[in-house]
Chain A
Amino acid sequence: MKLNIEGLLVYFPYDYIYPEQYSYMLELKRTLDAKGHGVLEMPSGTGKTISLLSLIVAYQRVSSAFPLDVTKLIYCSRTVPEIEKVVEELRKLMEFYAKETGERNNFLALALSSRKNLCIHPEVSSLRFGKEVDGKCHSLTASYIRAQRHVNPNQPVCRFYEEFDAVGRQVPLPAGIYNLDDLKDFGRRKGWCPYYLARYAILHANIVVYSYHYLLDPKIADLVSKELAKKSVVVFDEAHNIDNVCIDSMSVNITRRTLDRCQNNVDTLQNTIQKIKETDAAKLREEYRRLVEGLKEANVARETDIYLSNPVLPDEILKEAVPGTIRTAEHFVGFLRRFLEYLKSRLRVHHVVQESAPQFLKDIFDKVCIDRKPLRFCAERLQSLLRTLEIADIADFSAVTLISNFATLVSTYSQGFTIIIEPFEDRTPTIANPVLHFSCMDPSIAIKPVFQRFQSVIITSGTLSPLDIYPRILDFRPVTMASFTMTLNTFNVCLCLVALSSKFETREDFAVIRNYGNLLLEMSAVVPDGIVAFFTSYVYMENIVASWYEQGILENIQRNKLIFIETQDAAETSMALEKYQEACENGRGAILLSVARGKVSEGIDFVHHFGRAVIMFGVPYVYTQSRILKARLEYLRDQFQIRENDFLTFDAMRHAAQCVGRAIRGKTDYGLMIFADKRYARADKRGKLPRWIQEHINDGSLNLTVDETVQLSKHFLRQMAQPFRQEDQLGLSLLTLEQLESEEMLQKITQIAHQT
């Protein structure tokens, strides 16, 4: 259908529309009009992605008539399947455009992913891990390797890259929608490297879909996304965890093993320098000359030299020459040695140390006379050295790269970071395993350039409640903040709050574990097909499974359903997941025991019969004893005036909402959501759940016993098993174009968006 959204003609590739989709587009349009940032929460399964794409594509088409409005959409999602889904939805939209307008528009949209998902080189792509693929690719395509080939034709290079480099850049990628597989197909046909083709093509593409890291991790963003147009709209989908992504990309951990490997790296460097000095001293002199002239020239980074990028954000990189103390190769290696020795001495502590970055810098100056300035150039200088020495396998040098990145980070940022040195793990105080955590506490540091650079940034997800916390922790000022809920004619969600307790103190209690077991057992007899149960942590789940096994509860559950359990091994869990789906599919029914914050809870959907009930055992608080967390909480309190408890509860609730939201992926879907902990009934917890969950909480569903829950579930499931009819939905939760345009409905829709 064709919609009129405040004067903008939007093609929407379906015959009907949900009212909340219309409302969502309305808010989105207002955000884009204001050239500001927005926070939009809408439950999954309400067609968030297609609404977003429809509106932004319409916006882009109009602005091609009025140039300089919105030229590009950068869509960031979290997982590879999500990325591919977005591209498929986009393809659907474009097909609809072609059908309606009768013309092929010259839209270019593509997905970008890591080499592992795009490589077509027969040898390289057969490697299993992303890191190996990157390393191998680098050893075939690095700039000096290719330079060597001119001298030595036997030097192996990647023919796909060579072909791309020779021809691919001149011819722009023809307009169309390219998913990862399409890119590979195209690459195979042309004999071009799809990865570099995609990286090159994103510069002129209308829509780019890739993962968060390409924008948020400065090490990658600098290489991949530096030249993207400022007049872009950036969308972060599934953004409820965005603060953690930001923090992760700026944090470093150093263990004794890192230092040992680093020591080897430094020795190798030393030897290589020695060798080169004997054979080709001119090379080193040339490097020295370049460094004197300033970084500018050394900075002409080759696109293939991916490992060699700066860990700090671009605006923090100093635009001046490398200081004299580390300019010659030997001096720099000596400098690294000194720094390494210092770190080793710091790891020899017997008690926990926590200090700020300036304290650390002062200490290092006092002890080994290392200045702040050379430290800041450490990463940059190492890149230059590695390039000069023409080291093929950069992956081997990850340790020394890590250390120099740490040096640059710690000397660049004086605020928002903390250094914690722990001599042993809390659980095993007798075993020495010292770790230096350099952790970022302020997610706004990594995301700041994104907000500053791009015209509009949209943060959206199914669970962003409470909405006002994200602008605070990410430090930006949104022009719109809205939460939408799922309009339904009947409730397809039955929410039960079971009055069981799993407070940290009582959760090992025998009775608590048995009650949990009984709940699961009873539900397994009532609920058809799949049940997913989430625990608060992996260790806790292991213990519970063991005691359920001893008490014979699991055996009784097995009479009703098969049991599959998430493990810490991702491959094993994938297998279990597939078997779980198979068991749901063939009607046997199964239970999946899983962990909140685990991979399953973050990335796997349990649509329809794959998840007819979700049980959340306990409140998934983060492990609060961790010092890093404590430091972060303190920082949040001091800088953003967010109380510890508020943040912890917010964090627990967003994970709980993520878990239970896994089962409801659309209006035709239905499921039970069971929060098995009486703490959920308290106002402070309830208030932090997303609106689409809160709506289902009523007095009848609070503080239930196991028996009441079973009764409620039986009733609900019987009702839900009745056929789902479109006629009942029409006019309420599903609109035709005529219905949408009626005055009364428009009135109603304006009320859907819940402004804060």
Chain B
Amino acid sequence: MLLLYFKISPDGKAKIQLQLVLHTGESTTFHFANESSALKDRDATKELLQQLLPKFKKKANKELEEKNRMLQEDPVLFQLYKDLVVSQVISAEEFWANRLGGINNTDPAVVNNKQEVGISGAFLADIRPQTDGCNGLRYNLTADIIESIFRTYPAVKQKYSENVPHNLTEKEFWTRFFQSHYFHRDRINTGTQDIFSECAKQDEKGLKSLVIQGVKNPLVDLLSLEDKTLDEGYGICTTLPSTSNANKTVKESSNSAIIKRFNHHSAMVLAAGSRKGEAPTDQASETSSTDGNSRDSDFFQPPVKKVKLQEAIEYEDLQRENRPKTVALNLKKSDRYAHGPVPLQSQHYTTSQDIINSVNYIRHEMMNYKPNLTEVLSSTAASSAIAALSPGGVLMQAGAQQAINQMVPTEVQGELKHLYVAAGELLRHFWSCFPVNTPFLEEKVMKMKSNLERFQVTKLCPFQEKIQRQYLSTNLTGHLEEMLQTAYSKFHIWQTRRMMRKT
């Protein structure tokens, strides 16, 4: 049961009601009848629903999306869906019943094999505002850009799911977003009335926690670079001592704000690209920071450090190579190679080592080859053997039977294929009911049987008639029928047994 949205009755109304509208289109209306606390109860329910709805929305959509995606990605499945569900052989729930289960159980990495796409660094630049002629700006937002914004700035996403659609419409939300200082990078004076000021603060916090977390690679840690810094007061300060914030001009601080923004933006874009699926909340990243990089992590740091140090002192060209031998690419026209990629047919590649090995092997074989001339066939015997083995020869009669793909037109082949797939699916459902040991399965097996019969009548029979009309050999569907018959007989056996048990 998935809730799509809910409505409440206006405050002035005598009846205090709350209507829930489900995804399937059904709706349920609750009437709060308790005189004294009806309004309060209703409001409390409303509050709760309001909080829960965004979460469930996500979940519901995810399921729908998932189904949609599966159908889009798998043409065979789609055809099956068309054959079985659209033509109402089985219901949609039955169709999905043991498919989605599979999705939830199998390794998500396998299912989500669609590669995660990174985010363009310049996605904000792509929202070029256009003047609409009357002192206004138009921003063009696409789903992609919104997705990018959400993935890069989780704080904005949170604001969105909190505020839209209860407090703001989607349009209002984005209008405010673009008006906010948050969007404009030189944000120094973030007003408090702005809903995005909180985002800015959160970003600041995120940035700080990133900084405090420190870096894992000791070779880029500027803080521990110097061994012994001069004490305060010693040394020559060639650069002017850093001025306090008080006498920094507005321009300077806005400049450094821009620099900060760029660093943060790039870091977020980078993080969004490497983030897997779920967006980690601030807490999560913070906890991971505390357990990952606290100061007493001495035991954890050295390996990274060791590896980095070893990398840094490596001179690979001074060492003798121990890698497998490779064949150098010999380019006749290096320009053509450098200029553009040519579409490549997928091929099976052998490694250069393999090639070298096989060449060596053949050479070796050839060197050792000695023709044994005393045991050679006579030329007449050889030619007659060749003749016998050629198509049409004595020994080739059995293989002359023509393959189905040469006898039957392609559209019939396609149709047959679909029939096979559909029948296979139905039979799978049917056979999966055995052994029938629960009432549910009993019911299902009956239904499946009728489904099979319906399939035979609505799909198989017309096809048989069709091929008869085209004078094709009728044993094309023989196997299909055989399979159905097996199923029927199984069903009958089961049914008679059941009858006997009952009587």
Contact = CB atoms under 8 A, between A and B. Distances in A.
A689 B85 CA distance: 78
A573 B328 contact: no
A559 B125 contact: yes
A571 B211 CA distance: 6
A181 B329 CA distance: 45
A144 interface: no
A316 B315 CA distance: 46
Contacts of A570: 222-223
Contacts of B18: none
A544 to B, nearest CB: 10
B254 interface: yes
Interface string A559-578: 11111110111111111111
A425 interface: yes
B321 to A, nearest CB: 6
B170 interface: no
B240 A427 contact: yes
Contacts of B329: 723
B225 A79 contact: yes
A247 interface: yes
B309 A402 contact: no
B309 A88 contact: yes
Given A577-B222, A579-B266, A568 B242 contact: yes
B258 A578 contact: no
A648 interface: no
A644 interface: no
Interface stretch (A9-17, A198-206, A346-354): A9-17
Band of interface residues on A: 35 or more
Contacts of A572: 207, 211, 260, 263
A439 B236 contact: yes
A538 B239 contact: yes
Contacts of B234: 248-249, 251-253, 402
B319 interface: yes
Interface in B154-193: 185
Contacts of A725: 328
A79 to B, nearest CB: 5
B120 interface: yes
Interface string B214-253: 1111111111111111111111111111110001000110
A622 B237 CA distance: 12
A655 B213 CA distance: 31
Interface in A243-268: 244, 247-249, 251-255, 258
Given A213-B227, A559-B120, A92 B298 contact: no
A336 B49 CA distance: 74
Contacts of A582: 270, 274
Interface string A98-115: 000000000000000110
Contacts of A477: none
Interface string A400-439: 0010000000000000000000000111100100000101
A398 interface: yes
B488 interface: no
Interface string B439-450: 000000000000
Interface stretch (A150-158, A548-556, A633-641, A656-664): A548-556
B223 A574 contact: yes
A88 B243 CA distance: 41
A628 B238 contact: yes
A599 B225 contact: yes
Interface in A86-140: 88-89, 92, 113-114, 116-117, 122, 125-126, 128, 130-131
A249 B230 contact: yes
Contacts of B251: 546
Contacts of B274: 582, 586
Given A125-B295, A248-B236, A583 B266 contact: yes
B218 A81 contact: yes
A84 B220 CA distance: 14
A82 B242 CA distance: 28
Nearest to A546: B255
Given A577-B215, A581-B220, A567 B263 contact: yes
A80 interface: yes
Interface in B255-279: 255-256, 258-260, 262-263, 266-267, 269-270, 273-274
A184 interface: yes
A83 interface: yes
B237 A253 contact: yes
Contacts of A482: none
A331 interface: no
A603 B121 contact: no
- B215, B235, B267, most chain A CB atoms within 10 A: B235
B227 A80 contact: yes
- A131, A248, A729, most chain B CB atoms within 10 A: A248
Contacts of A575: 210-211, 213-215, 263, 267
A574 B221 CA distance: 5
Contacts of B223: 570-571, 574
A184 B296 CA distance: 13
A574 B243 contact: no
B121 A47 contact: no
A169 interface: no
B398 interface: no
A573 B122 contact: no
Contacts of A704: none
Interface in B296-314: 296, 298, 302, 305-306, 309-310, 312-313
A628 B310 CA distance: 42
A629 interface: yes
B259 A565 contact: yes
A85 interface: yes
A581 B217 CA distance: 10
B13 interface: no
5 contacts: A15-B319, A80-B218, A126-B295, A426-B240, A542-B252
Interface of B: 118, 120-122, 124-125, 185, 207, 210-243, 247, 251-252, 254-256, 258-260, 262-263, 266-267, 269-270, 273-274, 295-296, 298, 302, 305-306, 309-310, 312-313, 315-321, 328-329, 334, 338
Q: Which 3 A-B pairs have the closest CB atoms?
A: A555-B125, A558-B122, A211-B227
Given A425-B240, A565-B263, A575-B263, 8 more contacts: A14-B319, A213-B227, A398-B232, A542-B255, A542-B259, A572-B211, A577-B222, A603-B225
